[in-house]
Structure 1
């Protein structure tokens, strides 16, 4: 009789697996790849152990299991690396066994050589299989051509099965992470500017949030993560038979602000938040007339970022896309507010440095947005 606690545990595990398979995200990707690895190992065993009755059938599922890599291209490269490493480790172990005619002696000769071989950088993470293959051969005690041929053939069968399953059954792709990070960049940039605008419109002097600089620096961290995700996305499309069936945007054809624009935009946002933080600490550096248009300027720029996030998620309204009037009107409003701010800035006295920094930082940000919204920029 099954204990109630065990039934509850099985239901919990089953529910977790079901949620992982039905929801998008890292959990679903991990669940799918794990099940594919298990399926590839079972298929490799069915071919070599159940149907062929190979003497070392274990090597086929063992190889297939560890070739379920994060991209099809990586599976193919890892498979070739592993097969070369296994061949070299097998031959070295057989040679050591023939020369020493002793298990201990063969291990003493083969293991140092295969471990050194496995640490060769070109073999990557597959180098570990050189000493492992040597251990299999020496522990088996058979160094004849037939036994060695079986080991290599069964390893090759496992590699073919693992690569084939990864390529043909829900081949992995990483474009979703790229889209998520692009959207996150735009949303967080808009929220940062909106918070600053709200503070200068309604906040009391000196009580502004102290995390503006940290949030601007975080945008740079997201951009770095985006670069890495793009590299994975590009690799996942190499030798991937599923890429032609997807409708998702690639690294260079998503709507909205182009990825190349974010290198400048994050730098300008970081500089602007430093200036705004200093201004929040010393509000008397600028007259009230100069501070009055600042919230409108910041909010206008924030609207451009919010619209970009909506375009990337497909949640925009009414067809006013990144090249529609919504962004252009928001940017034009921000430019007019900047002109009002510039006209109200004093040109002499102690406010000159603060006003100059604010003028330069806002101009650079708005100019970068204007270049990014231009049709030729979006075509990059």
Structure 2
């Protein structure tokens, strides 16, 4: 087989090379930029605080104490500007333990062997294992990295070990002090934003379903089902955010000086968890009804029009819940909510009327859909013990509320 001739770059290819490189760079930037988002106030504040803490720690150890390895102080200071003051204190304890262990193990291995490579063979497996086994979370990484610093720089004499631990302690103290003294983080605003987004997202999904109920297809129903899954993910994110909000007031010396945004009651989380799970079941029913693989046919368009009216009214109930969650339930807001819920029940009564005289297969599909809608309205009418909404009352001619 003849060898393939080597192709040398021509003048044309060389002329196009820079253009190809620019095009590749533009393509890479086009992929990265959509994933980037504008930093919020919290991210900017914490980033600046970490930078300030690092500068102060470096000044104290490198300039004032003239420490031989002042890097440890700003390194620890940046790591300890955490999302809450309590987390800064807890992380500082874990970090100091891991750095102390890594330093002592590395210094002991070096003193025992007198050789850097041999000391690494002894110290690194021990520190990595310690970092993985100790209940310190991500701080376990500091044990082997500190051992590497100690052995790489050859600073494992007793005074050097003392300096290293002192520098780390100074950096930890500076990081905690800066995080606690300068705008200590409070996360109630994030909780309020996530909680109030739940009724808005449920309303958008229900409104989209109601508008398209006459002529939707399986592809659109599949997208509804995915959106219902997203609601459950948002609930999980809210649960995590509530934990951060509660933690941000522990060991926070400035919690009375920081303005805390009122957050909706945790009872609302239970309400929207029920609604989200009900929407997941409802969208699955609609998806299966529109699928060609399903043996049951779709109900007639006149029936689906009433279902769409029901879902649109349920969307108005969710929309009314957003200002109630954010500002409380006054007479006007609760009246708007009760009116929308009454309209939804009237539409449900019309849907139930269609159950009479249907063919068995159509009746089976419509019965499943009606049961899901009934359960959804039950979940949207919580008792006063479940949420800060007055209990719904029956109105003459409007069905149960």
- State TM-score, norm by structure 2: 0.76
User: Could you tell me which residue of structure 1 aligns to residue 381 of structure 2?
Assistant: 370
Asked if structure 1 preserves the Cα contact closer than 8 Å seen for 2:53 and 2:178, the reply is: yes
Equivalent position to 2:111, from 98, 103, 108: 98
2:346 pairs with 1:333: no
2:245 pairs with 1:236: no
Asked if structure 2 preserves the Cα contact closer than 8 Å seen for 1:205 and 1:281, the reply is: no
Q: Deviations for 1:48-75, whole angstroms, at most 9, x for unmatched residues?
A: 2222323333321121122222332222
Q: Deviations for 1:131-177, whole angstroms, at most 9, x for unmatched residues?
A: 23223333454544433222211110110111121122122333333
**CA–CA separation in structure 1 for the residues paired with 2:128 and 2:209:** 58
SS of equivalent to 1:377: coil
2:198 pairs with 1:189: no
**CA–CA separation in structure 2 for the residues paired with 1:45 and 1:259:** 45
SS of equivalent to 1:31: helix
Q: CA RMSD in A?
A: 3.1
Q: Deviations for 1:162-217, whole angstroms, at most 9, x for unmatched residues?
A: 112112212233333333332332122112221222224xx557699442222222
CA, structure 1 residues 198+99, in 2 after alignment: closer, same or farther (shift >3 Å)?
Answer: closer
Matches within 5 A, 1:221-300: 221-244=233-256, 245-250=258-263, 253=265, 258-277=268-287, 285-286=298-299, 290-300=303-313
**CA–CA separation in structure 2 for the residues paired with 1:242 and 1:50:** 30
2:344 pairs with 1:355: no
Asked if structure 1 preserves the Cα contact closer than 8 Å seen for 2:218 and 2:288, the reply is: no
CA, structure 1 residues 192+105, in 2 after alignment: closer, same or farther (shift >3 Å)?
Answer: closer
Q: Deviations for 1:95-153, whole angstroms, at most 9, x for unmatched residues?
A: 22322233333333323322222222413222222223223333454544433222211
CA, structure 1 residues 25+176, in 2 after alignment: closer, same or farther (shift >3 Å)?
Answer: farther
User: Could you tell me which residue of structure 1 aligns to residue 81 of structure 2?
Assistant: 68
CA, structure 1 residues 94+317, in 2 after alignment: closer, same or farther (shift >3 Å)?
Answer: closer
**CA–CA separation in structure 2 for the residues paired with 1:240 and 1:347:** 67
CA, structure 1 residues 53+330, in 2 after alignment: closer, same or farther (shift >3 Å)?
Answer: same
Equivalent position to 2:227, from 193, 198, 215: 215
Q: Which runs of 5+ in 1 are unaligned?
A: 1-23
Q: Deviations for 1:6-42, whole angstroms, at most 9, x for unmatched residues?
A: xxxxxxxxxxxxxxxxxx9743332222211110011
CA, structure 1 residues 281+115, in 2 after alignment: closer, same or farther (shift >3 Å)?
Answer: closer
2:98 pairs with 1:108: no
Asked if structure 1 preserves the Cα contact closer than 8 Å seen for 2:218 and 2:287, the reply is: no
Equivalent position to 1:47, from 60, 65, 74: 60
SS of equivalent to 1:119: helix
CA, structure 1 residues 152+317, in 2 after alignment: closer, same or farther (shift >3 Å)?
Answer: closer
**CA–CA separation in structure 2 for the residues paired with 1:280 and 1:144:** 75
**CA–CA separation in structure 2 for the residues paired with 1:284 and 1:139:** 73
Asked if structure 1 preserves the Cα contact closer than 8 Å seen for 2:188 and 2:260, the reply is: no
**CA–CA separation in structure 1 for the residues paired with 2:281 and 2:111:** 70
- State TM-score, norm by structure 1: 0.80
**CA–CA separation in structure 1 for the residues paired with 2:161 and 2:336:** 70
SS of equivalent to 1:80: helix
| More moved, 38-47 vs 61-70 | 61-70
**CA–CA separation in structure 1 for the residues paired with 2:74 and 2:111:** 28
SS of equivalent to 1:246: coil
User: Could you tell me which residue of structure 1 aligns to residue 393 of structure 2?
Assistant: none
Give, in angstroms, the shift of residue 293 of structure 1: 3.2
Matches within 5 A, 1:123-142: 123-142=136-155
Q: Which runs of 5+ in 2 are unaligned?
A: 1-36, 390-401
Asked if structure 2 preserves the Cα contact closer than 8 Å seen for 1:289 and 1:344, the reply is: no
User: Could you tell me which residue of structure 1 aligns to residue 41 of structure 2?
Assistant: 28
